[in-house]
Structure 1
Amino acid sequence: MTEWTDTETFARVLERVDTKEKGNCFEDFEVGDLIEHDPGLTLTRWGNESWMSQTLNHDPAYWRTDAATARGFDEPPIHPDYLTAATLGITVEDLSEKGGYFLGRTDVRFPATPVYAGTELRVESEVVDTATSSSRPQYGIVSWRTRGLDAETGDVLCSYERTNMIPRRQPVETDGGAETEPEDDERAEDEELPAEFVTPEGGYFEDFAAALEDADGRNAAVAYRHERGRTQDDVTVASLPLATLNTAKQHHNADVMGDSPSGGIVTYGDVTRSTALGHARSDERTWREVGFDDETFHTFVASGDTVYAFTRVLEADDADSLESGTVRFEHIAFNQDDEPVYSGTRTAEIQKRSSN
């Protein structure tokens, strides 16, 4: 009788059996395909607060009933960062579990109405583009338009377009050219930096508008760094992505990732992003998130790395509202070695001082 659990015998078994693979390769995606991701996820108060607390997002309207009511909410709503991470996490098994660089995400949008705990999230993705990688014959490039929907009403709660490199089953010949990829990107020479950096005096809309006015017409930019940092640990690196059903091996399989460039598991990009945004929001009076564009993840963040944040204020629009004005920011997350790890533009409604 064969003893299957004998170490040498079992090693021979593993060499001979097929592996039931998870995820899809580049050849599995065709433009126009609509993928309905299963399972969905119920957005819970516990999941929301876990995400927010670990990424230092402490806006009281998302924690306390009185602050939520003052903002016009029925109760503390689901935070857009958690909603975005949950929407993407659900897609990973079908879209990107095979691995490959996350090249970017843009046109991240939310509804004007709040999303509350108990909402069942259903997610679908449409393949909008496929392309051959000119520098990496073992990969292709795929873009998807993803929508997170209220399973009961069908309303769109979160939508975005993201692009990934996806492994091919069979490598193809390439022209040897280069693409804009995290490790191959040859940056153009930096433009000359401004002679002066202006820091807003406070976190209200009027403070950002005044700083931009102060910088206007001279060689100055409204830009500043945030003091807080968050060192990545087991909770942020492994627990948070798994709680959003993100099954990518990059975040939870140390065995596989031991031979990767990072040398181990890495932080989910939306944890890095949300942590940097949490630092930034601590220095502003956020009223409502509108959307994000041109998001890029420049290099991996691993356990033990510390995420900091830098902000540049680009525009401020009064928007004829008594409560808030619209501000467009550029946020850059960077690590303990001052290396950028994430960047993106963000549009948010910022509370006016006159509304108090």
Structure 2
Amino acid sequence: MSKTNKGNFFEDFTVGQVIRHATPRTVTVGDTSLYSALYGSRFAVQSADSFAQAIGYPRAPVDDLLVFHTVFGKTVPDISLNAIANLGYAGGRFLAPVYPGDSLTAVSKVIGLRENSSGTSGVVYVRSTGFNQDGVEVLDYVRWVMVRKGDVNAPTPEPVIPTLPSALAPDALGDAVPLLDIENWRDDLSGSTARFGDYQVGERIDHVDGMTVEEAEHMLATRLYQNTAKVHFNQFTEGQGRFGRRLIYGGHVISLARALSFNGLANAFHVAAINGGRHVAPLFAGNTVFAWSEVLDAQPLAGREDVGALRLRTIATKDQPTDGFPSRDGDDYDPSVILDLDYWVLIPR
């Protein structure tokens, strides 16, 4: 029996399989500081204990996407160590706040399999759940990933493609946010006077700014999440692969786009759900990321007068400013588009 882990290949997965992932990870204030250094996120609730406590949190919560990436990273050695690419997300729910000092673990269940026509790889669908040290669910999401076959002659499994929701309903949102004292929300400190009622369905927002990605940054970020996928680190092997260089973790793009969205959505302090997402094209070091967002829906939350929910579609591009709102025409995306993300955020009313 080998003591080293070569990771699971496509033929090693079965529908219904449950995987408990190593290792627990305690999220610290050092992690949150490094996350800020990597992306420059400025949302006030996650930036300052004083701001968070004034509106009803015990302290500043950990950034939602840092929670997502940490749970995601736990799943990589078992799900996507031999991945070709992470393809998309659906049905993601942030279920409880996470604070510095909390320890996170993850469990995944395989809910679908589909071998590709090439016979050399296949798509694996998994539902992953993150828990804190008390067993409380903090995050639940589905993702699908293209994984290599270790043996191209392995039997082809019967395809099972799960039915996934196009979007989560508003009544499924808000569990990770306590009832807030919005009278103490200070727009001068949050960075914007725009609140729930100031956004209109169909409105488009160019986030204006761009961030150039450096090789060391994306590798440092991926290591922060203990994400061990080979495509992000090993230039020796990736130099001989499809792109000839290391591929940037798709979650890195999501966090860049989220940080850029502050300019226009500064009060949208909480990512409540990920309805769906697609990594349209790869990103590499040296590229500059831009982003724009469209308001798809705006909904009050039952029983809550403090916050409302905006459903956003954020498009990220590489080396293309977004004042022209590049997107897709039919089945084809603009060549600059690298991310198409559909998600709910909460914003004060």
TM bucket, shorter chain:
0.7 to 0.9
Structure 1 partner of 2:289: 307
Structure 2 partner of 1:241: 222
Letter in 2 for 1:207: D
Structure 1 partner of 2:137: 156
| Structure 1 vs Structure 2 CA RMSD | 2.2
Higher relative contact order (CA 8 A, sep 6+): 2
Runs of 4+ in 1 over 6 A off after TM superposition: none
CA distance in 2, matches of 1:348, 1:29: 34
CA distance in 2, matches of 1:106, 1:236: 27
Letter in 1 for 2:59: E
Give deviations 1:130-186, integer Å, cap 9, x for gaps.
12212x210011111101111x311111111111111112325999xxxxxxxxxxx
Q: 2:91 aligns with which of 96, 103, 107?
A: 107
Structure 1 partner of 2:194: 203
- When normalised by structure 1's length, the TM-score is 0.78
Length, aligned pairs only: 297
CA distance in 2, matches of 1:327, 1:61: 17
Structure 1 partner of 2:270: 288
Letter in 2 for 1:204: R
Larger Rg computed on CA atoms: 1
Give deviations 1:191-212, integer Å, cap 9, x for gaps.
xxxxxxxxxx96321210xx33
Residue 101 of structure 1 and its aligned partner are, at CA, apart by 2.1
Structure 2 partner of 1:333: 316
The more displaced of 267-276 and 281-290 is: 281-290
- What are the equivalent positions in structure 2 for 1:1-356 lying under 5 Å apart? 22-111=6-95, 113-134=96-117, 136-150=118-132, 152-171=133-152, 203-208=194-199, 211-212=200-201, 221-284=202-265, 285-319=267-301, 321-337=304-320, 339-352=336-349
Structure 2 partner of 1:180: none
CA distance in 1, matches of 2:280, 2:148: 19
Would you say the 8 A contact 2:24–2:104 is kept in 1? yes
Report the identity percentage: 24
Letter in 2 for 1:114: P
CA distance in 2, matches of 1:263, 1:202: 46
Structure 1 partner of 2:184: none
Q: 1:155 to 1:21 in 2, by over 3 A?
A: closer
CA distance in 2, matches of 1:169, 1:253: 19
Q: 1:323 to 1:287 in 2, by over 3 A?
A: farther
Would you say the 8 A contact 2:298–2:310 is kept in 1? yes
CA distance in 2, matches of 1:28, 1:166: 10
CA distance in 1, matches of 2:220, 2:115: 34
Letter in 2 for 1:125: S
SS state of the match for residue 301, structure 2?
coil
Letter in 2 for 1:245: Q
CA distance in 2, matches of 1:253, 1:19: 21
Letter in 2 for 1:332: I
Would you say the 8 A contact 2:45–2:269 is kept in 1? no
CA distance in 2, matches of 1:20, 1:206: 55
Letter in 2 for 1:98: N
